[in-house]
Amino acid sequence: MPHVHRLAVRVRYPEADPMGRLHHSVYLVYFEMGRTEYLRERGLAYAEMERRGRFVAIAAVDLKCRAPAYYDQQVTVETQVLEVRGARVVFGNRAVRSDGGRETVLAEATITGALVDASGRPQRFTAEETRLLLGP
């Protein structure tokens, strides 16, 4: 069973559209926050990776919006790593809210990243990085 990181986020006023609903583009920001915290929790702080000249460039995003979130609601961002192969890492993300004990999925995404150096050349994940990303 893959490790799932959870991050609580409250929908802020400038993230909402005129109807008070979270704008769909903000899910990508939330999922970026989730990925960063997932990496930190697993011992791969992204700032440290960058200092070593290793960057995760986002190559593909498949986002599905399921239900609205509204200004001032708390949303839980769930992040997990689904696959690591060569220079590729695939993240699974969900944004959910709790409605009186019932969970509502707001958005889901599969986000594929490529590990690259500062010049953009692909770099393989090391065995240790792969272990940290996928481990229990």
Buried b (16+ CB within 10 A) or exposed e, 92-131: bbbbbbeeeeeeeebbbbebbbbbbeeeeeeeebeeebbe
Distances (CA, A) of 46 to 36, 62, 85, 114: 6, 22, 19, 14
Domain span holding position 65: 5-134
pLDDT band at 34 (very low <50, low <70, confident <90, very high): very high
Buried b (16+ CB within 10 A) or exposed e, 35-49: bbbbbeebebebeee
Report the CATH number at residue 84: 3.10.129.10
**Is 72 designated active site?**
no
Q: Which of 32-41, 47-56, 127-136 has the lowest mean pLDDT?
A: 127-136
pTM: 0.93
Catalytic residue among 17, 72, 99, 117: 17
At 66-85, the pLDDT tens digits run: 999 999 999 999 999 999 99
Give the chain's domain count. 1
Res 8 pLDDT > 90: yes
At 90-122, the pLDDT tens digits run: 999 999 999 888 999 999 999 999 999 999 999
Q: What percent of the chain has pLDDT over 90?
A: 93
